[in-house]
Structure 1
Amino acid sequence: MRSALKKHHLKYASIADILVLTESLGLLIKTRLWLQILIGMIAGIALGVLISARGMALVDRHVAELIAGWLALPGYIFLALIQMIMVALIFSSIILGVASCGTGEQLRRLGIRIMPYFLCTTTVAVMLGIVLAELVKPGAYISQLMVDNTSLEPLSQAANAKEFVTQSDASAARHLNFPKTLANLIPSNPLRAALDGSMLQIVVFSIFFGIALLMIQSARAKPLLDRHLREWRRYMTFIFGPCRLPRMP
């Protein structure tokens, strides 16, 4: 039984895959990506203090806005690349991960082991978020005038933003339905979920799709896994190659 499972795993997780992932991880460690991020943060703060009107104001306000716009361009491109490939990359990666579990029984055992960890970490994250929100109270120190004047805040369309938020929270609390929330995790239209960027629904659909491939014969599922999904993931990582995502063989 173990030898059969091992052979099945080798079909989808070859030695080349492991070597490529190990090499990519070693590259991230050698290049000290964390240090580059830290240097970028410090440089951004320093530059903001130098050219900002609220800082040293070394240049004119319009010149500062022009410089800031061009400096922000790589960040906008980076985020756009992430959003462009996220749905396809998550879809293919989850399906390949589920389909490579071997058998339905092995997938069930893996799910039983992972579920308590997932529930515990999610609970801790939610509790930590609630505690920090109560302690820090984000947004409490922002003046109402700033909220009304910003063009990025949808609540500026309301006459009284604070009252609008209060009413919205009360309405959401009245309509909170936990069973319906769980039911909404299953996408009624996967294409609509992909269009709206509903990542949780995409993850659920991908899991069901991977389980379906796991249940059918391996010979029938292999062409879809190897010729389409694996190649699809390779293309997505190639598009995002400048950001050092692991390249799949």
Structure 2
Amino acid sequence: MANSHKLGLTARIVIGMVAGLVVGFLFKFLLAEQDERHLLLFGMALPLKAFFVDGIFHIGGEIFIASLKMLVVPLVFVSLVCGTCSLSDTSKLGRLGGKAIGLYLVTTAIAISLAIGFALLFTPGAGVNMVADQTYDVSQAPTLAQVFINIFPSNPIESMAKGNMLQIIVFAVLFGLAIALSGKAGERLAAMFSDLNEVIMKLVTLLMNLAPYGVFFLMAKLFSTMGDYETIISLGKYFSVVLGVLLLHGLVSYPILLKALSGLNPWVFMLKMRDAALFGFSTSSSNATIPVTLETVNNKMGVKNSISSFTVPLGATINMDGTAIMQGVATVFIAQVFLVDLTLTDFLMVILTATLASIGTAGVPGVGLIMLAMVLQQVGLPVEGIALIIGVDRLLDMTRTAVNVTGDAMVSCIVAKSEGELDQAIFNDPKAGLKQEDIDFHHLR
């Protein structure tokens, strides 16, 4: 990749993703009959699976994910402190919270309504004679009361260590307000946080330049270890309905809302979301993608840090549109498989439960299945039905995350536009933010 700097970041990530997918399929084919194939290297017989799949691919992918997660807490805390302490009107914070939370809940309700509607229209579970040959252990979902209690940290250091995003947001906002009210001392501390924010964003850029390699390792490991593809075929209708609604929500609902509520060009927005969406797809984690989402909305879309530092981390925590879509389709699918008729009241309960459950859903891979268990219990469906869809959930989880991070950025743009905190010159500039993405590792100064 000597000339990789001549390609844009998006092109490099796509190349890494496609290369990883091809290599993953190749290894799955090579290991289809036996796991003990060996590679002769430097006169030594190395186990193919252990050396590449469980070794190089696994280590490379895990290091990449860990590097992204390493940035999340310091980036969110420092960025939000900077944004909060720069507010001249503290009442603005209440408006931001109200607008952001309101929009996130509205988009989630729209998402699950679309999911239920299309699932009823295409009946993915009709005629499916499947028996769950495995059980699904239900992790206890938090009650709504406990969710609100857990928003407030008793130990902010512990919250940062555990990556509890809502608690970090609350502490950062209070800390930022205290800085703004502390006169000269606050001004000195604010200047230090501003410099620290610049350094952390440069670290984000550094990792983004290494992303093609990380994406390659993640895709190669995933597709070389993915389960039986016959499962996808047998659940093809369910898989297609979920994927179709995800694409409909991400490519149609979001652009319509963006145009209607802000007047911004949806095509420009979607083009600038490419990198963040690809990151989300590769990592399957909204939280791990926070650094890239923040960089995108700030540098490419012109959203001021005082807005994005609040809306993006909040969205990664409570905006789970993709998860809500899966829950809606899966609920109807499982009801059809087990021949259970759901009433209008049941469907309304599903919409309400899934929307509120999104507040307590962490932005990490696979957590949607835990919340699905809670939704199924609310309408009296067998939780064991989740075992039927586990086999195809990993691929859908990747797409769900791409939809979620797109929604985070869309809401950030709408809120910023309504508050006069969006630079439309940057938003409309197709080259905005591209210069910040390139780092010359050979000449650091």
What is the TM-score with the length of structure 1 in the denominator?
0.60
What's the CA shift for 1:128? 7.0
Q: Which residue of 2 aligns with 1:226?
A: 191
* Alpha carbons 2:179, 2:189 under 8 Å: kept: no
Q: Is the 8 A contact 1:99 1:211 kept in 2?
A: yes
Q: Structure 2 CA distance, aligned partners of 1:200 and 1:130?
A: 29
1:41 aligns with 2:17: yes
Q: Are the aligned partners of 1:95 and 1:209 in contact in 2 as well (CA < 8 Å)? A: yes
Residue from 149, 163, 174 that aligns with 1:197? 163
CA contact (8 A) 2:80 2:169 kept: yes
Structure 1 residues 47, 90: CA separation in 2 closer, same or farther (over 3 Å shift)? same
In 2, distance between residues paired with 1:141 and 1:236? 50
Amino acid at match of 2:85: A
Q: What is the Cα deviation at residue 131 of structure 1?
A: 8.8
Q: How does 1:114-125 map to 2 (within 5 A)?
A: 114-124=100-110
For residue 26 of structure 2, what is the amino acid of its counterpart?
A: L
Instruction: State the shift of 1:89 in Å.
Output: 1.0
Inter-partner Cα distance in structure 2 for 1:87 and 1:119: 24
- Paired residue for 1:8? none
Instruction: Return the alpha-carbon distance in structure 2 between the equivalents of residues 136 and 233 of structure 1.
Output: 48
- The equivalent residue for 2:154 is 188
What fraction of aligned residue pairs are identical, expressed as a percent?
A: 27
Specify which structure has the bigger relative contact order, considering alpha-carbon pairs within 8 angstroms and separated by 6 or more residues.
1
Structure 2: gaps (5+ residues): 1-5, 40-46, 210-291, 296-435, 437-445
Q: Give the aligned CA root-mean-square deviation in angstroms.
A: 3.8
Give the aligned partner of residue 338 of structure 2. Answer: none
CA shift at 1:100, angstroms?
1.9
State the alpha-carbon separation in 2 of the partners of residues 208 and 133 from structure 1: 44
SS of the residue corresponding to residue 87 of structure 2 reads coil
Give 2:15's aligned amino acid.
I
Q: Which runs of 5+ in 1 are unaligned?
A: 1-29, 145-161
What is the rounded CA distance, in whole Å, between the counterparts of 1:56 and 1:34 in structure 2?
36
Are 1:60 and 2:38 matched, yes or no? yes
1: CA distance, partners of 2:189 / 2:194: 8
Shift of 1:112: 4.1
Counterpart of 1:89, as a letter, is: L
TM-score by length of 2: 0.36
Which has the larger share of helix? 1
Q: Which structure 2 residues correspond to residues 1-249 of structure 1 after superposition, within 5 A? A: 31-52=7-28, 53-54=31-32, 60=38, 62-68=47-53, 69-124=55-110, 144=134, 162=135, 165=137, 168=138, 172=140, 177-214=143-180, 216-227=181-192, 229-240=193-204, 241-244=206-209
Counterparts of 2:79 and 2:198, CA distance in 1: 10
